[in-house]
Amino acid sequence: MFVKVCGLSTPESVQAAVESGADAVGFVLTKSPREVSAEQATHLLQGVPEGVSAVGVFRHEPAVDAIATARGAGLEWIQLHGRRTRGDVKTVHDAGMRLIRAVTMGSAPEEFEDWGEDLLLIDAAVPGSGESWDYSSVRNLGLGVRRWLLAGGLTPSNVGTATAEAQAWGVDVSSGVESSRGVKDLNLVRSFVRAAKA
């Protein structure tokens, strides 16, 4: 199970995720309670060992702007939310970077097609709500053997059931491992990674 812990903003939270066995960590470089600057992301990146992917997360920024910001922070992965095009995928890859394209369960059917992204992230219909949803509904999308991440409302206590219901390849968590909005609980981070990997 591929596990990404997103919205990290302190060296301690990065360390907790990495030491627990997370495969990827995410730094939010867009307006959010979890937002960090490119400079902060560069500093946090020092705690990310080789073999763990570090991802810059963006919402509505144009792909070219996201690339510039992520590159300035030293990141090789970009996660794009919001309305995107196949051209955005090409732009990211032409820049030599890897892409997680995020969609919500309420998106149009064509948005779940393979646009060539490295990973597809499937979030709840209302992203950021922190509420669990019908994870089994993902199976109706016909994703086949593609690599994709399940997100939205995941916690240490439900991640096992959710991934089984969705038949997910990987998971992405943020609010489900927080003590308050934007503040990671290190014990919850560790518990989540262990539970997902189990």
- Rounded to an integer, what distance in angstroms lies between the CA atom of residue 183 and that of residue 73? 22
Q: Based on the residue annotation, tell me whether 94 is a catalytic residue of this protein.
A: no
One of 6, 23, 88, 172 is an active-site residue; which one? 6
Ranges of H-type helices in 59-157: 63-73, 86-94
Sign of CA dihedral 20, 23, 29, 31: negative
Pick the closest to residue 80 from 123, 50, 46 (CA basis): 123
The answer to whether residue 6 is catalytic is yes
The two tokens of residue 71 are 């590159």
Polymer length of the chain: 198
SS3 call for 133 = coil
Task: Please compute Rg for the chain using Cα positions.
Answer: 15
Pairing of strands 77-80, 53-58: parallel
Q: Which of 88, 123, 134, 185 is catalytic?
A: 123
Catalytic (active-site) positions: 6, 123
